[in-house]
A = this chain, B = another copy of it.
Amino acid sequence: MRADGAGLPTHEVVYRQLRDMILFGELEPGQPVTIQGLVERLEVGMTPVREALRRLIAEGALVFQGNRRIIVPVLGVASVEELTLARVALEPQLARRAALRCQGGEVQRLRETDTRLDAAISKGDVHGYLVENHQFHAELNAVAAAPILTDLVEGLWLRFGPSLRVVCGQFGTRNLPDQHKAILSALEAGDADAAAKAMEQDVRQGMDQISAALRAV
């Protein structure tokens, strides 16, 4: 019946499309999102659009403006602080679990993803950077095999996705340090503490970029 989504319900397809648009930068903070606009743009009925939007609002990826208007969230200093706190509290724990469970093949795949990430950075490919960076963390979370924690963290990423995109728009892919090499070493050594430490560094560096961009405006 539907060409794009292979058997998946429409609301799921719409959700994923919007999710990717939010994570990888089609949408910018403050931008309004209208139901009818999506109905026309995606050529689907409004029921599935509504469901996808409700879901994204529940995850914090979009915000419902009291009156009945939906926008992409604009992060303030306080929000970035909260997100940093939450990420620092959760993601190192996932890295810890990943270090304890990971197998050789999984590290290999993470290395390949990280290589593509570096390639995107050196090419100045912002979209590629965002995709591969997210992919790296998603793969790592999958190794940790902690579905609830992973859900929570994915939700956090959705909240700062659009703002991260703005950072890259301002500064390009220069000055995008990460701790992925240290994380990979720790995983390979099965050193949970080192993995957690490295992940905390990675998170803080990333969130600092957003903080800095906020202050620049």
* Chain A residues in the interface with B (C-beta under 8 A): 9, 11, 47, 50-52, 54-60, 68, 78-79, 82-83, 85-86, 89-90, 93, 146-149, 151-152, 155, 159
Contact = CB atoms under 8 A, between A and B. Distances in A.
Contacts of A52: 54
A79 B150 CA distance: 12
Given A47-B50, A86-B148, A86-B149, 4 more contacts: A50-B50, A54-B55, A83-B148, A152-B155
Contact of A82 (B86, B147, B159): B147
Contacts of A93: 85, 89
Contacts of A147: 79, 82
19 contacts: A11-B54, A52-B54, A54-B55, A55-B57, A55-B58, A58-B58, A58-B59, A60-B151, A79-B147, A79-B148, A82-B146, A82-B147, A82-B149, A83-B148, A85-B93, A86-B90, A86-B149, A89-B89, A89-B93
A68 B82 CA distance: 35
Contacts of A89: 89-90, 93
Contacts of A56: 58
Contact of A50 (B51, B85, B152): B51
Contacts of A83: 148
A78 B149 CA distance: 11
Nearest to A59: B58
Nearest to A9: B68
A85 to B, nearest CB: 6
B152 A159 contact: no
A11 B57 CA distance: 13
A59 B47 CA distance: 20
A159 B151 CA distance: 12
Contacts of A58: 54-56, 58-59
Contacts of A155: 152
